[in-house]
Structures are given as C-alpha cells and as structure tokens.
Chain A
Amino acid sequence: MAITETPALTVQRAVGAHRRRFTPGRVAAWVVLILFVVVTLFPFYWMVRTAFSTTRSLSSHTSSLLPADFTLGAIKRVLGLQAATESIAQGGSGASMNFWLLLRNSLIVSTGVTVCQVVCCSLAAYAFARLRWRGRNAVFFAFITALMIPPIFTMLPNFVLMKDLGLLNTFLGIMLPSMFMTPFSVFFLRQFFLGISREVEEAAIIDGAGHWRRFSRVVLPMSTAPIVTLALLTFISAWNDYMWPLLIARDKSVQTLTVGLGIFQSQTPQTGPDWAGLMAGALIAAVPIIALYLLLGKRIINSIGFSGIK
C-alpha cells in the first residue's frame, strides 16, 4: 500500500463522493438486497396468514394475501381448546391435539440441556483457557476433533446406550448426550476466556482467591455476554432438534414440539390436509424462538462475526 499523504486526501474525497452519489448501480443493489429480505420474510408471513385462516376456505381464497375467513380456530384446535364438531366444521380432523404438552416438553428439554451444558462447558473452558497443566492442548484438540464426527455416527451407539440404561421415553434420555458438552460450546467459551486480561485475575490471586473463586467471581462475571449468547444458541438448537428426540421419545408424554409437528403432518389426511392447523402448530413452535430472538438477537447476530465459524 503505497498511498502517500496527498493522494490519501483525494481518496477520502473520492470515496465520500462515491458514497453520496445515487448511481443506478446502487439503486439496483438496494432493490436486490430488499428482494432477499422480502423472500426471507414472506414464508413467515404466509405461515401466520394461514394459521389464522379457516382450512375449508383456503382453497377458495388461494391468492388473497389476508387470512381466508379469519379465525382463531386453528390456534385453538392445536391447543386442544376446540370442540371436535367445530374442528371438523373448519376442516380439522377432529382428533384432539395438545400442543400445550409439547410446548411444556420442549421447554423442559431445552432448558435442561442449556443450563447443564453451559455450566459444564464454562468449567471446562476455564481449565483450557486459564489453567496451565500438562496435556492441556492435547485434550483440547481431542475435544475439537469431535466436531468432525457426523452426529449420526455416535447417535446409533448412543441409542443402544439409552436403551440399555432404560432411558427410552424419558426426558433424561433426550437430554443426556448434549447435557455435558458440545465441542462448539467449549471452543466458543474458551475463546472469550482467553481474552480476559491476566492482570485482573492476578489481582484476585493477590487477594488470595483460589481457582474456584477466580472462576466464579472474576472470569464468569466478566463473561456474561458470551455466556448469554451461548445459552441462547444452545437453547435454540435443543429446541429445534428433531432426529434424536424422534428416536428416544416414542411416547406422547415426552415428545417435543418438533417431533409432535412431524407426527401431526404424517397423520393429516392426504385428501384435504388441515393446513391451517399445521401452520398454527408450526407458528406455536416458532414463536418462542422468534420472541427470544427479538429480545436478545443482537448478541447472536454480532457473535457470528466474532466466533467466525460455528
């Protein structure tokens, strides 16, 4: 870069002028970007629109952008609040559905996984980032190598393990494999813990703090932002998980939302499926995540720049 002082000024001016100008190119670029935003949002809108429609009216209002015969019926139906006769009249199957139970199960599983995983992984990340011990790098490398293993490879033996432990159809069976650690979580937190300045910890050492107090009183409080981000990411991925809970939770009482939705879809009649009901179910599964995202999403968005690659 051989830019001397005078050209640097010209550069600034040139770039400034370039930025302000409303070239056709920039307008076209904005149009394309906004198009992508619309393409991203439209399916969500269509889900909401359908969830508030009457299934029977959908076929006659195919292109209307507003709900076809606006009703809360589909939402009530999947929450088990609609009488069978009314449900059939609106195009539902009349089968009783209980998304409250699924919602509760998803909440139990996701919260359990998140709390345990974040605690275990922050402990481990502390040992990898702030303690000096023989074999540290080797163990860390082994942890990270697990990222390369396709999940299905360990999923089969893990299923046998759960079966042998008698944990099929239990919350614990769904949660256990991801409760202790995922390589990503350890890696993610270690990155942050490495960045904490040595001086702060040394001040604590001078005050006579042992490892536990240095961890709980110094490192943890300084890392609330990354820990909240990680908790959020963990919660979302546990909430969205499908294959593992599908294997473990054959019984209704422990099924999660994703599994329940899959079953709802497979049981809906081929002729005249209950689209409004399905979209209402999908909406219920998506809303908690969207709410969390609206509340704390900024952290997730910014973390993608930081962690580089998940």
Chain B
Amino acid sequence: MSAIAEAPATRRDGRMTRQARRAQKPPRGRGNPWRHDWRAALLFILPASVGFLVFYVIPAIRGFWYSVTDYEFLGDADFIGLDNYRQMVGDQLFWNALLVTLEYVVINIGVQTVVALVIAVLMQRLTTNIVIRGVLLLPYLIANVVVALIWYWMANKLIGIINIGLEAIGLPAQAFFGSSFWSIPTIALVNTWRHMGYTALLIFAGLQTIPKQLYEAAAIDGAGEVKSFFRITLPLLRPVLALVLVVTVTGSFQIFDTVAVTTAGGPINATRVIYYYIFELAFNRYHFGYASALTVALFLILAALAWIQLKLMRADQSDLD
C-alpha cells in the first residue's frame, strides 16, 4: 500500500487524499496495518454474513437445541435432556437406516472410485479431448430426479431395456428397484453412473500434478503401464484421492432424491436410508425433536469419518517433495 503515500499529487477526489494523509501518519499502535480496510470490509461481507448467520449458524444452534426437546411443530419445544438420544439407541429403524445407508455408501463409493480411477488413467494415457471429458461429466449436471426416473424406466421388470437385455443373454429378469436384495445396489449403481465422470475429472486433475519425467524414467527402466500405475500413479495420487474420498463419501451419505422418487424407502425398510428416515420423522410424523437428534448423530458420524479418512490417508502430506 506504499503507493498511496508516494503519489499524493495524482489524487483526484478528496476522500483518497484524506486516506493518503492518514497513510502518511505514523501507524497508530504497532501491527495495525489490518485496520484501514475494516469499514469497507464490513460492508462487502455484510450480505453474505447475514445469510451465513441466519441460514447456517443460527439454524445449526437451533438444530442442537431441538435435539434435546420434544418439539412437534405445534406447541412449544420443552427441554427433555438426552431422551431423544436414548430413544435413538433403542430405535431399530435408526440402526436399520444407518446399515442401509452404509451398504449404499460402500457399494457406491467402492465402484465409483475404482471406475473413476480407471477412466482418469485412461484419459491421462490416451486423450485430453474436451468432448470426451464433457460427455463423461454430463450425468453429474442432470438432476437426481431425472436420472432416477430414467433408470427406473430402464430397470423396469417387464419392459425395461436392462431386463430385455438380460433375458436376451439368458439371464433372468430382476425387479431391480422392487426387490429388497437388489434395491440398494441398484440405487448405488445409478448414482455411481451419475458421479463417475465427475470423480474421474477430479482425479484427472490430480494426475496432472504428477511429473511426466517419472513415467519417462520408469519407461526407460523397462516398467510397463501396470507397474508404473501401482508404483508411481497410485502412491503420488494419495493426497488427491484422500480429498476426493472425503468429499464423495460425505456426499454419498446424503442419498435422498433417488430413493424419494423411486422406492420411497421400500420394499419394507430395504431402502429407508438415513436422510429418508429423518425426512419421514420430521415431515410426515412431525417428530421434529427426535429427527433433529438424528441429524446431530449424522453430523457427528460424518465429521468423524472425514477425520479418520484424512488421518489414515495422510492427506496433508505429499510424497512429491
């Protein structure tokens, strides 16, 4: 900011001259260069901060508060201590919801990460063509609801193209969304389809940070593609993979839309994932306090999972140095 003090003559309006004069004065109190933009900064962050306070901070606090009350929309929220949490521990449907969600996340993330890694490495070795990248990203931009409906139709037991194809190669048709065995894997794979290109592009961006010379040196030493993948790509990709995993796992736990428009939690409880269970508790049965306790539990589970993943994969350290 020294430019201000050096060229006071070029000022055109009075305000800046005042600022210049202030800048020329010895700073009030040491280490206070942070001071002079404070008023402007306040104005600039005001709109976003209002939104942040009203729709993030205060609701978060209220969320914790509701979780220790018996709030049911009508009437007041009375403090009931940890009763909701006690009820949660004994709630079969809660544990079922967690288990079903976990099954979904494991299948979804497992398949998606491997497929995305394969696509990313293929792109790295073959082409950076923007049309191919664009096509692979497309499903990620289409609404969950639309994607769910397309696959719901394609997986129809009687006339869906997937079952027509299965029967053509001699396999029995399946009620993919209607059977308690297949419904979660089906929904998990539908969302794998939606997210694999996006995840591949994230990994692809990470691959660009690996120096090309490493591969060239490995090629000279006679290492094949497979060997350089396991010895160079995978180890050096670790920090990027860790972040990608944290983001995709956290996102995967939020599965709701696909379930809501296809199975609505059924058959029986086979796809009653945690988001859907909370949604039903809060908005169909009005157990708002109890539903809030579940969201707190989910929040803690996700935070713990993210922390464990980052620690396990040492995401903050790179092997490139």
Answer whether residue B220 sits at the interface, using C-beta atoms and an 8 A cutoff.
Answer: yes
Residue of B nearest to A130 (CB): B37
Q: Given contacts A30-B126, A153-B63, are A40 and B135 in contact (CB under 8 A)?
A: yes
Interface flags, B157-189, vs A, CB<8A=1, else 0:
011010010001000000000000000000000
Answer whether residue A10 sits at the interface, using C-beta atoms and an 8 A cutoff.
Answer: yes
List which B19-68 residues lie within 8 A (CB) of chain A. 33-38, 40-42, 44-52, 54-56, 58-60, 62-63, 66
Give the contacting residue for A242; candidates B143, B282, B283; CB below 8 A. Answer: B143
Q: Which residues of A contact B150 (CB under 8 A)?
A: 43-44, 46-47, 279, 282
**In the complex, A10→B216 CA distance in Å?**
10
Q: How close is B162's CB to chain A, nearest CB, in angstroms?
A: 10
Residue of B nearest to A158 (CB): B59
A309 close to B244 (CB less than 8 A): yes
Answer whether residue A265 sits at the interface, using C-beta atoms and an 8 A cutoff.
Answer: yes
Summarize B's interface: helix, strand, loop or mixed. helix
Q: Given contacts A124-B44, A160-B62, A243-B257, are A132 and B36 in contact (CB under 8 A)?
A: yes
A133 close to B136 (CB less than 8 A): no
Answer whether residue B13 sits at the interface, using C-beta atoms and an 8 A cutoff.
Answer: yes
A278 close to B149 (CB less than 8 A): yes
Q: How close is A278's CB to chain B, nearest CB, in angstroms?
A: 6
Q: Given contacts A36-B119, A304-B198, are A148 and B303 in contact (CB under 8 A)?
A: yes
Summarize A's interface: helix, strand, loop or mixed. helix
Give the contacting residue for B138; candidates A32, A119, A290, A308; CB below 8 A. Answer: A290
B133 close to A211 (CB less than 8 A): no
Answer whether residue B219 sits at the interface, using C-beta atoms and an 8 A cutoff.
Answer: yes
24 interchain pairs, CB-CB under 8 A:
A1-B217, A3-B213, A11-B217, A14-B220, A29-B125, A123-B45, A126-B44, A127-B41, A131-B37, A131-B40, A132-B36, A146-B52, A148-B302, A152-B298, A153-B63, A156-B278, A158-B55, A180-B55, A207-B12, A242-B261, A243-B257, A257-B143, A298-B134, A300-B137
Given A11-B213, A120-B51, 15 other A-B residues pairs in contact with their CB atoms under 8 A: A26-B126, A37-B135, A134-B38, A139-B45, A148-B303, A150-B302, A152-B256, A152-B278, A152-B279, A152-B298, A163-B73, A205-B1, A278-B149, A300-B137, A300-B141
Task: Give me the interface of B with A, judged by CB distance under 8 Å.
Answer: 1, 3-4, 7, 10-13, 15-16, 33-38, 40-42, 44-52, 54-56, 58-60, 62-63, 66, 73, 115, 118-119, 122-123, 125-127, 130, 132-139, 141-147, 149-154, 156, 158-159, 161, 164, 168, 193, 196-198, 201-202, 204-205, 208, 211, 213-214, 216-217, 219-220, 225, 243-244, 247, 250, 253-254, 256-257, 260-262, 264, 275, 278-279, 282-283, 288, 291-292, 295-296, 298-299, 302-303, 306
